[in-house]
Structure 1
Amino acid sequence: MSFSLRSKIIAAAGSGAAIIAMLFLGGSDGVEGRRYEAYKDVAGVWTVCDGHTGRDIIIGKTYTDGECDALLRKDLQLAKRTVDRLVKVPLGEYQKAALYSFVFNVGSDAFSKSTLLRKLNKGDQEGACDEMRRWVYAGGMKWKGLQNRREMERSMCLAESKNDL
């Protein structure tokens, strides 16, 4: 995690998990890396801005920062609703932010069936956070970018219990 991104996340503490996740994911410092024109990701999925996927992507269009921010807010709301509905144990803001980012990336369906969620709901927060390390494959291949992202999410997920970010 870059020093700039880390500083922004720490400064956002107390602002809420959704704001922390938005800083983690969005803009030039974000873990996704903002791309203004649609591209196919490593799994061959059309993607734009901060990792937005879906049928609403316009291939060949150059998106603005405002459009990218709006797509990120919309995508994060879906991830937030999923986490808030499925997680039955209390979470700290950094844990929520890590899970919002994770669900944003892997999808609600995959999260709902995951060992990570089962461990979390059984009270094994450290084991749940460690499960993130397993989600590093796309298109059947292990990706360094996903490994880096999962380590950052895991670090944020564990920050509550270790009082460190």
Structure 2
Amino acid sequence: MSGLKAKLLGGALAIAVPLVGYYEGRNLAAYLDPVGIPTICYGSTQGVKIGQTRTAEECDALLATELGEAITTVDRLARGPLPDTRRAALGSFVYNVGAGAFERSTLLRKLNAGDVAGACAELSRWVYAGGRKLGGLVKRRSAERELCEVGL
């Protein structure tokens, strides 16, 4: 990640890295996530194959890059400035569900309509994977929502 990009992501990335790291956990060997997608490191799925391994340093770098991309997506799609806590919360969310889901979400529509409280509340609805409510997602979304609501 370039120095300029890191500065632009700044506090949001610093807040989001430990949040995502905690809820994703780090796995140095590829595994199948709860819906059967090959996953490695802190929830990375792109190009992952079962049997693949990474070092701790590779996982940390991958997290910073992919989470930086998620926050950049938030910055691109959200109309108007957001505090770093909200950028971090939404970056964590995008990292988990993907840019496309965020772009099509009621959450983003509410955010861009000025209903920040309603947008943050939408996070609590995103707790299902493969049609099953997952306890880990309930806890993660609660933490993301709390961050999202800072200052409201």
When normalised by structure 2's length, the TM-score is: 0.89
- Residue of structure 1 equivalent to 2:18: 23
From 31, 36, 41, the equivalent of 1:39 is 31
Secondary structure of the residue aligned to 1:31 is helix
Paired amino acid for 1:105 = N
- Residue of structure 1 equivalent to 2:7: none
- Residue of structure 2 equivalent to 1:60: 51
Secondary structure of the residue aligned to 2:30 is strand
Does structure 1 conserve the Cα–Cα contact (< 8 Å) formed by 2:16 and 2:92?
yes
Does structure 1 conserve the Cα–Cα contact (< 8 Å) formed by 2:38 and 2:49?
no
Please, which runs of 5 or more residues in structure 2 have no aligned partner? 1-9
**Cα distance in 1 between the residues matched to 2:151 and 2:87:** 10
Paired amino acid for 2:19 = F
**Cα distance in 1 between the residues matched to 2:72 and 2:86:** 15
Cα deviation digits, residues 102-145 of structure 1 (max 9, x gap)? 00000000000000000001111111000001111111111111
Cα deviation digits, residues 47-87 of structure 1 (max 9, x gap)? 111111111x2432332110101111121122122101000
Q: How does 1:122-133 map to 2 (within 5 A)?
A: 122-133=113-124
**Cα distance in 2 between the residues matched to 1:81 and 1:62:** 27
Secondary structure of the residue aligned to 2:150 is helix
Name segments (4+ residues, structure 1) moved above 6 Å: none
- Residue of structure 2 equivalent to 1:7: none
Cα deviation digits, residues 16-44 of structure 1 (max 9, x gap)? 10111112112xxx111111111111111
Paired amino acid for 1:25 = V
**Cα distance in 2 between the residues matched to 1:119 and 1:155:** 17
Verify: 1:113 aligned to 2:121, yes or no: no
- Residue of structure 2 equivalent to 1:81: 72
From 78, 83, 94, the equivalent of 1:92 is 83
**Cα distance in 2 between the residues matched to 1:69 and 1:155:** 25
Paired amino acid for 1:47 = T
When normalised by structure 1's length, the TM-score is: 0.82
Paired amino acid for 1:70 = A
RMSD of Structure 2 on Structure 1 (CA): 1.2
The total of aligned residue pairs comes to 143
Paired amino acid for 2:140 = R
